[in-house]
Amino acid sequence: MEVKINREIRNYAESMFFGLSMRQSVFALLAIAVAVGLYFILKPYVGTETVSWMCILGAAPFAALGFISYHGMTAEKFLWVWLRSELLEPRQLKCVPTNIYYEALKDSIAAHEKEGLKAHD
């Protein structure tokens, strides 16, 4: 008997339905619900081919959210972090360069300039 273990234990995901995790299953059901809802809402107004493309485009983001992970964060965690960093807590970083060499030798430079002015007088 052989038990497969991921190299990184944090990457473990338990399979619930059809090899999908619970999170992936919920988002898949949400995508199906959006597609069915769009079909019944738009069917009286546009043709079958157009409705089918609108259903695919409407359900795709919800289906993708179940599978996307970025830097170890799920899609909703990433969206919350992005929302906080860009809209709720924006920071304006200013780069003010300083010449450390000049700051260290400012007194001696001023002294040499005074000596140069006295020599010319």
Query: Whose CA is closest to 58, among 50, 47, 68?
Result: 50
Q: Helix/strand/coil (H, E, C) string of the chain?
A: CCCCCCCCHHHCCCCCECCECHHHHHHHHHHHHHHHHHHHHHCCCCCHHHHHHHHHHHHHHHHHHCCCEECCEEHHHHHHHHHHHHHHCCCCCCCCCCCHHHHHHHHHHHHHHHHHHHHHC
pLDDT band, residue 25 (cuts 50/70/90): confident
Mean pLDDT in residue range 4-32: 71
Mind listing the pLDDT tens digit for each residue in 90-108? 777 788 888 898 889 999 9
Look at residue 33 in the predicted model and tell me its pLDDT.
94
Mean pLDDT in residue range 60-83: 84
What's the mean pLDDT when you consider all of the chain? 81
